[in-house]
A and B are shown apart, each in its own frame.
Chain A
Amino acid sequence: MIPELGYFSLTLAMVLCVLLFIFPMWGAHTGNLRLMRAAPSLAVGQFIFVLLSFAALIYASLTDDFTVAYVAHHSSSTLPWYYKITSTWGGHEGAILLWLVMQAGWTAAVALLSKSLPWPLRARVLGVLGFLAVGFMLYTLLMSSPFDRLLPYYPVEGRDLNPLLQDPGMIIHPPLLYMGYVGLSVSFAFAIAALLTGQLDNLWAKWSRPWTMAAWGFLTLGITIGSWWAYAELGWGGWWFWDPVENASLMPWLVATALLHSLAVTEKRGIFKSWTVLLAIAAFSLSLLGTFIVRSGIIVSVHAFASDPDRGMFILAFLAIVVGGGLTLYALRAGHVSSEGRYSLFSREVALWLNNILLVVATLIVLLGTLLPMVHKELGLGSISIGEPFFNQMFSYLLVPFALLLGAAPLLRWKQNKLKQVAGKYGLGVVIALVLTGAWLFSSFAKVSALTFMATALALWIIVMSAQDLLQKTAQAQSIKRLGLSYWAMQLGHIGLALVIMSVALTSAYSSERDVRVMPGEQVALGGYDFRFDGVKVIRGPNYTGHAGVVTVFNEGELETVLHAEKRRYDIGMQFMTEAAVDAGLRRDLYLALGEQLTGGAWSLRIYHKPYVRVMWLGGILISLAGFIVLFDRRYRRRNPKEAQA
């Protein structure tokens, strides 16, 4: 009964969303304020019904209702309760329902927090969001309902959640990522509404900015956690593989990052308007495209999601309508938008233009690298693979101008600058970065390659220039308090990125690994540590059994830690899973994965020593924080800017 109520509740939500699309759009078109005023209540209403629907699925999962096909395929009675909850987004149908919850939530949030917007704009933003929700709800109700029953023949036990997904990282990773993807739909809705209203101005940018910032913050955090999950769970110590699924999340992130910077210019200087709108459309389009790539099975990926051409067709049609419609509107309206404002070649405006170009090129590289193998094959030219060597090479090239610019730009003022005023600071920055890098790398590592040196120096250059800028700004502003939160967010984001660059450079260059056959009592040396294999013990979890290899780690004879690297076999499905043991530290991670049992009581064991790998996720978290603290900036908290002006 409860699952049927869930389905019914979703149907009601869809009816409300259809109204949410029609009423405000028609009202804005005809100038009917009453119709427009219906939008916020409809938005809140549909959120409540979607939430009820989601609660129904969680209930079905928690009560082990295996008559529900989705629960039977993605859960089991032995699963711990928290994984029963997360199993509701561990499969395709549930993941799309989670997407809907997010979509409905963002829509309700916009409805409640946009009171200061003029009605025509507010109504259209909500109308566009309503339209997007209708598309996803139709898809769920018609082609991918998680509430379908397996009656009259249903299993007594479920097939269990994929063991790869039974991990804390997986509890939070998809919701965060979806918060980001769906959040970008708000930027998209603002862009479309602005094009429809014809009101592309500073105020529009100002309203759109906090929403974009929040979405981008979630996306950053989602990608960071995803990378950490892959590292902890896949058992080979990798943190980024340029897999289509990872690329699908990176593309919207890159464009959203460009969008943030471009929005800043549009808000402060009233220029770049039509470009900013295009970025807002592109960011959400790439989120949708990413979903299509992941969900349609069009591209071979390590994350094998069930694929179904009918579902693929629906998403593709929806993609074509939403993105095609958005871009058509853009082609019709953006030609008439003109940007005014003077700036010299040596100005913050130009620096931000360059930032946007480099980010867009980075997106293009990821897009081409992800889709070209498919196009290449469709053209009859044969199968090719595009992976790590290609992406790493291209991103190393891009990194140089990008990082140089990133360090230099915050010191520039709007409109125009004199080289004399900044040249000294730049020179000092270069010298400090080079000296620090040299001193650090040559004292810590035996071999320093040019690439590692360059990347580390660029990261330090960003940090040094951020520090210089901070000193200068505090001197000018008299007190640290007077610098706005937006400024701190910028600093945090830039330093976070510098940490990511540094970590990637160092961990790529100095990670080492050994793949050995060990007998109990034997000892292996790696990265200055000694690993003593003490044998294996049998382990028994709630829904798995397995072996744990016990390894005692010594650092120059001193006991460092004892690690348990597990090899689990899940009871249902008999799948083997490597559960790596990690001794985490800021300066290095020690990572152990237990392999197969060999003859004569020996085991195969993989040991990794990964310097500074953790700094990468720390950097990612700092970057995402930047997106969140901006929301508390006084500028965005003021409820009604027009009243304040008057």
Chain B
Amino acid sequence: MNKKWLVLTPLAVFILLCAFLLKGLFSDPRELQSGRVNQALPAFDLPDLMAPQKRWTNADMAGQTYLINVWGTWCPTCLAELGYLTELRERGVTIVGLYYEQGYDPDFGDRFDLTALQQEVRDMLARAGDPYQFNMLDLDRQFILDLGVSGAPETFLVNGEGKVLVHHTGDVNERVWRAKFAPLLGE
């Protein structure tokens, strides 16, 4: 009797394993859980990309529900999602751009050319649509690191109390918007 059950265990364990493998087959292993969701948005104090003398801080956005979109002109997926984000802006969603400059590396003794970058950004937004209220430049990528950003594009939903509700990695499209963002906005 005892032995009968014992010889069945390997089969039982294997069936359970198969169930998980089957489920795992249909989910994306690259999708990660963020450490930032349901926490306060980290403090920032960053210059405006187009007018560097102007600085933006958390206080400027207090009381508003808005998206922070991390992007760069070097990133093709960002270019692809600009159209949809512009559509969102037209629907009344506030979107703040956080510019991810990845080429600049002080260790290499690089000189950073702001004017060239501004021109590049202007060209791209004119071509593909401009969803942003304004863009912030995080040259030393400290705020980007505080947000737990690993690349671009990534999008955050922040509520009026300054809490992060969603951290999405990859492009935002209609499907993603309906599944992850819209329910939290009561749409």
Contacts and interface: CB of A to CB of B under 8 A. Distances in A.
Do A's and B's CB atoms come within 8 Å in the complex? yes
Interface of A: 274, 278, 281-282, 285, 292, 296-300, 309, 312-313, 316, 319-320, 323-324, 327-328, 330-331, 334-335, 371, 374-375, 377-378, 382-383, 596, 598-600
Given A312-B25, A335-B4, A378-B24, A327 B10 contact: yes
B18 A319 contact: yes
Interface in B81-125: 108-109
B23 interface: yes
Contact of A327 (B3, B14, B21): B14
Nearest to B20: A375
B24 A324 contact: no
A307 to B, nearest CB: 9
A371 B25 CA distance: 12
B25 A378 contact: no
**Which of B14, B27, B30, B109 has the most chain A CB atoms closer than 10 A to its own CB?**
B14
Nearest to B23: A378
13 contacts: A274-B7, A285-B14, A292-B21, A298-B24, A298-B25, A323-B14, A324-B14, A324-B18, A331-B10, A334-B7, A374-B29, A378-B23, A378-B27
B15 interface: yes
Interface string B1-33: 001100110110011011011111111011111
A426 to B, nearest CB: 34
Nearest to A597: B108
A320 B18 contact: yes
A313 B25 contact: yes
Interface string B25-45: 111011111000000000000
In order of increasing CB-CB distance, the 4 nearest A-B pairs are: A327-B11, A382-B33, A599-B109, A300-B29
Given A296-B25, A312-B25, A324 B15 contact: yes
A300 B24 CA distance: 12
A300 B150 CA distance: 16
A316 B22 contact: yes
Contacts of A313: 25
Contacts of B14: 285, 323-324, 327
Given A324-B15, A371-B17, A299 B7 contact: no
A462 B181 CA distance: 61
A320 B32 CA distance: 29
Contacts of B4: 335
Size range of the interface on B?
20 to 34
Secondary structure at the A interface, as helix, strand, loop or mixed, is helix
B21 A316 contact: yes
A348 B81 CA distance: 67
A462 to B, nearest CB: 31
**Which of B22, B25, B109 has the most chain A CB atoms closer than 10 A to its own CB?**
B25
B7 A335 contact: yes
Nearest to B21: A316
A335 B2 CA distance: 9
Contact of A298 (B8, B21, B32, B109): B21
A306 B20 CA distance: 21
Contacts of B20: 371, 374-375, 378
Nearest to B2: A335
A274 B21 CA distance: 27
Contacts of A312: 25
Nearest to B26: A309
A312 B21 CA distance: 10
A274 B10 CA distance: 12
A309 B27 CA distance: 10
A598 B25 CA distance: 44
Contacts of B21: 292, 298, 316
A363 B4 CA distance: 24
Contacts of A296: 25
Contacts of A600: 109
Given A319-B18, A371-B20, A383-B33, A330 B27 contact: no
Nearest to A310: B25
A176 to B, nearest CB: 27
Contact of B11 (A274, A331, A377): A331
A285 B29 CA distance: 23
Given A299-B24, A331-B11, 19 more contacts: A278-B10, A282-B10, A297-B29, A298-B29, A300-B30, A324-B14, A327-B10, A327-B11, A328-B11, A330-B11, A331-B8, A331-B10, A334-B7, A371-B17, A371-B20, A374-B24, A382-B33, A383-B32, A599-B109
A320 B22 CA distance: 11
**Which of A298, A316, A323 has the most chain B CB atoms closer than 10 A to its own CB?**
A298
B80 to A, nearest CB: 22
B29 A330 contact: no
Nearest to B4: A335
B154 to A, nearest CB: 15
Given A309-B25, A316-B22, A598 B108 contact: yes
A324 B22 CA distance: 14
A371 B133 CA distance: 44
A294 B15 CA distance: 20
B1 to A, nearest CB: 10
Contacts of A335: 3-4, 7
A377 B10 contact: no
A276 B25 CA distance: 32
Contacts of B18: 316, 319-320, 324
A316 B31 CA distance: 22
A264 to B, nearest CB: 22
A459 to B, nearest CB: 34
A340 to B, nearest CB: 15
A313 B10 CA distance: 22
Contacts of A324: 11, 14-15, 18
Contacts of B10: 278, 281-282, 327, 330-331
Contacts of A298: 21, 24-25, 29
A599 B7 contact: no
A374 B22 CA distance: 11
A318 B169 CA distance: 34
Interface string B62-84: 00000000000000000000000
A533 B145 CA distance: 36
A330 B24 CA distance: 27
Nearest to B9: A331
Nearest to A385: B32
Contacts of A299: 24, 29
